[in-house]
């Protein structure tokens, strides 16, 4: 074999070692330059790599955060995305309302306070029957006009009080406005109670107390008081009542299935693929969800999925569970849908779109400021099935001793302990600093070395790992590729046992342990 030279400090190391062994000797009478050169031919044993490979190394890098471990430690790949509805305060917007009030009052005798009560109805734009609203924010602005009052030498103030209203201290909502002026008060944290009368709903009463001052002559009495009342910029904190059904557009989304991207090779069969529809509902009402689209896509081909109920009723917390969130889910599997056929296409996208109707049964419900509906669509692929020719690669950091000056030969030893229930056709590739493959270790049938699958019990758990130990003397081309390598790439093609026919299960505790070492015979000439 042609000699391969290393850059090294071994010659100096050996000379120093020899000198260090005889520090007390008198060697002045030696003629060192007359000594013959010393040839040293050591054989080094070097560990190169040790890697324990788990299921996360068998799937695309972008998907390793999608691994889920079940209670039985069975591994699943879960691809998901979510749709989020608007919050309760945003969706149930309280419309701006303007109310006109008009009444007459005049001072008489010593009692100069006159009281009037008027009834108003709050129109939400829907056929709602509201019991109560707690305001997160809002403003009530009031202007008061009283023509002729000042000409008679009187002043007056109007105290407006919303009956059946209160704040955290139990005080009713109230404000005072001087005649001929305006005023506004914040509605935040006030509760208004509403009532019905016959076919009229969302009614509330407002009392007006007019206080006169001054000592004029009431020539123009009774005085007409005109009030412009504006409820504006309102946002609910909580609303309770019989709310009319409302449409809710949830929109659509596409879930990328990275496992089956353009680089996918081989064949996979999943015994029990599932699509899981999950919903978290903190609206205090049921929601009827209509599925507009649900299909798997491969290139331009769409595979519509069947089996989902239309509508899908998502339950909400009831009136006694205010502040809680209700959870609902529906699972499409091989027994109630056609999902198995869809997954066999190796789809790259799961697309879904939904619309919904709130409170379809028109029950007494509640809505909170932060109420919302979250819908998750998940494609769950439990690793329970068969595989043929599924490929993966893992780059291994190379730990190598470069203290050899001249190489006679290199022998690599590959020790593999297969703790997975799959056959592995293994290859070791020599990669340079640019990760370009310069050579391979195993030469032969398809350049792969067969690693038998581990033995399993009836539940698919590994009971006896399979060990394979291989030693290969590198030829000149392989030696050069190895010496120039910056890393080793472990490439494997995976198949379940019996040529991909045996159904296997991949569990969280199954690993592939790979050790690669080298024996290198070097030749060092020490010149004197």
What does the pLDDT read at residue 9? Answer: 38
Candidate from 15-24, 85-94, 346-355, 375-384 with smallest mean pLDDT = 15-24
Residue 408 pLDDT > 60: yes
Count of CB atoms situated within 10 Å of the CB of 293: 12
Locate 214 and state its tokens: 């001054």
pLDDT in tens, 435-444: 888 888 887 6
> Phi/psi class of residue 14: alpha, beta or left (left: φ > 0; alpha: ψ in -120 to 50)?
alpha
The predicted model scores a pTM of 0.76
| pLDDT-derived band at 434, boundaries 50, 70, 90 | confident
More confident residue, 493 or 130: 130
What's the rounded mean pLDDT across residues 448-469? 88
d(CA 114, CA 131): 30
Q: Which pLDDT tens digit goes with each residue over 14-58?
A: 334 333 434 444 555 455 566 566 666 778 888 888 888 887 766
Pair of tokens at residue 248: 């809710």
Please state the separation of Cα 198 from the chain's center in Å: 50
Is a pLDDT exceeding 70 seen at residue 4? no
- 342, 485, 487 from 434: Cα distances, Å: 39, 10, 10
Per-residue pLDDT of 472-523, as tens digits, reads 899 889 888 888 888 888 888 888 877 667 888 998 889 999 998 889 887 6
Residue 1 pLDDT level (bands cut at 50, 70, 90): very low
Residue 349, helix vs strand vs coil: strand
pLDDT of residue 405: 60
Segment 162-185 mean pLDDT: 97
Per DSSP, the residues of 470-519 read EEEE--HHHHHHHHT-SEEEEEEEEEEHHHHTS-EE-BTT--EEEEEEEE
Predicted confidence (pLDDT) at residue 71 exceeds the cutoff of 60:
yes
Helix (H) or strand (E) segment spanning residue 10:
helix 10-21
Q: At residue 427, what are phi and psi to the nearest 5 degrees?
A: -140, 145
E strand spans, 306-453: 312-314, 326-332, 349-358, 364-368, 373-382, 384-388, 390-397, 406-418, 422-431, 437-440, 449-451
- Most confident region among 125-129, 406-410, 473-477 by mean pLDDT: 125-129
pLDDT at residue 264 greater than cutoff 90: no
pLDDT for res 160: 97
Range with lowest mean pLDDT among 121-125, 372-376, 394-398, 472-476: 394-398
Q: Domain 93-242 class?
A: mainly beta
Cβ atoms of 324 and 317 within 8 Å: the answer is yes
Instruction: Output the pLDDT for position 46.
Output: 83
Q: How many H helices and E strands in the chain?
A: 5, 39
Who contacts 19 (Cβ-Cβ below 8 Å, separation ≥6)?
Answer: none
CA 254 centroid distance within chain: 14
pLDDT given at position 524: 62
Query: Cβ(103)–Cβ(115) under 8 Å?
Result: no
At 401 the pLDDT is 56
Q: What is the pLDDT of residue 61?
A: 55
Say whether 211 sits in a helix, a strand or coil: strand
So what's the pLDDT on residue 494? 85
**Strand 406-418, strand 4-5: pairing:** antiparallel
Q: Which tens digit of pLDDT belongs to each residue from 89-121?
A: 989 999 999 999 999 998 875 456 789 999 999
Query: Both tokens of residue 191?
Result: 């509760």
Please identify which residue in the block is written with the tokens 């299960």.
505
Residue ranges covered by each domain of the chain = 4-62+388-526, 75-89+246-382, 93-242
Give per-residue pLDDT as tens, 209-253. Answer: 999 988 878 888 899 999 999 999 999 999 999 999 999 888 899
HSE-up (13 A, CA, CB side) for residue 214: 16
Question: H or E element: which one contains 20?
Answer: helix 10-21
pLDDT score, position 424: 84
Mean pLDDT, the chain, rounded, equals: 85
| pLDDT of amino acid 70 | 80
pLDDT at 526 over 90: no
**Confidence check: pLDDT of 389 > 90:** no
Dist. CA 346–CA 72, nearest whole Å: 26
């Amino acid at each position: 074999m042609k000699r391969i030279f290393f850059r090294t400090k071994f010659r100096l190391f050996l000379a120093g070692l020899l000198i260090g062994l005889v520090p007390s000797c008198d060697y002045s009478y030696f003629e060192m330059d007359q000594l013959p050169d010393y040839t040293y031919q050591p054989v080094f044993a070097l560990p190169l790599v040790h890697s324990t490979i788990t299921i996360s190394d068998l799937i695309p890098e972008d998907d390793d955060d999608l691994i889920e471990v079940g209670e039985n430690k069975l591994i699943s790949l879960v691809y998901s995305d979510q749709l989020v509805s608007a919050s309760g305060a945003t969706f149930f917007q309280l419309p701006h309302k303007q109310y006109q009030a008009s009444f007459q009052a005049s001072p008489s005798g010593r009692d100069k306070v006159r009281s009037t009560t008027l009834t108003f109805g709050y129109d939400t734009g829907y056929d709602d029957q509201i019991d109560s609203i707690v305001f997160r924010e809002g403003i009530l602005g009031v202007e008061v006009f009283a023509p002729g009052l000042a000409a008679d030498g009187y002043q007056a103030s109007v105290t407006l009080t919303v009956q059946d209203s209160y704040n955290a201290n139990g005080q009713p909502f109230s404000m005072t406005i001087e005649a001929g002026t305006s005023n506004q008060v914040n509605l935040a944290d006030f509760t208004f109670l509403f009532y019905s009368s016959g076919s009229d709903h969302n009614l509330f009463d407002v009392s007006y107390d007019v206080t006169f001052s001054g000592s004029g002559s009431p020539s123009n009495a009774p005085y007409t008081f005109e009030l412009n009342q504006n409820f504006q910029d309102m946002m609910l904190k909580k609303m309770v009542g019989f709310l009319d059904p409302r449409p809710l557009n949830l929109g659509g989304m596409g879930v990328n299935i990275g496992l089956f991207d353009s680089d996918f090779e081989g064949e996979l069969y999943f015994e029990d693929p599932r699509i899981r529809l999950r919903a978290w509902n903190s609206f205090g009402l049921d929601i009827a969800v209509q599925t507009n689209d649900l299909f798997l896509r491969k290139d331009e081909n769409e595979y519509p999925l069947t089996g989902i109920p239309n509508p899908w009723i998502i339950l909400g917390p009831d009136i006694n569970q205010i502040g809680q969130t209700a959870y609902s889910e529906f699972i499409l599997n091989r027994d109630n849908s056609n999902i198995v056929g869809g997954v066999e296409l190796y789809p790259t996208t799961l697309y879904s779109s939904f619309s919904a109707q709130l409170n379809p049964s028109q029950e007494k419900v509640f809505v909170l400021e932060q109420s919302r509906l979250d819908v998750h669509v998940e494609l769950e692929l439990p690793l329970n099935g068969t595989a043929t020719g599924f490929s993966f690669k893992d780059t291994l950091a190379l730990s190598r001793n470069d203290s050899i000056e001249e190489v006679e030969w290199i022998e690599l030893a590959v020790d593999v302990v297969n703790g997975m229930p799959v056959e592995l056709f293994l290859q070791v590739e020599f990669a340079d600093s640019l990760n370009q493959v310069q050579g391979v270790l195993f030469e032969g049938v398809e350049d792969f070395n067969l690693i038998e699958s581990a033995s399993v019990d009836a539940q698919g758990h590994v009971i006896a790992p399979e060990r394979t130990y291989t030693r290969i003397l590198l030829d000149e081309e392989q030696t050069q590729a190895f010496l120039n390598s910056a890393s080793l790439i472990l490439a494997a093609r995976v198949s379940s046992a019996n040529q991909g026919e045996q159904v296997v299960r991949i569990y969280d505790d199954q690993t592939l342990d790979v050790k690669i070492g080298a024996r290198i015979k070097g030749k060092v000439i020490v010149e004197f």
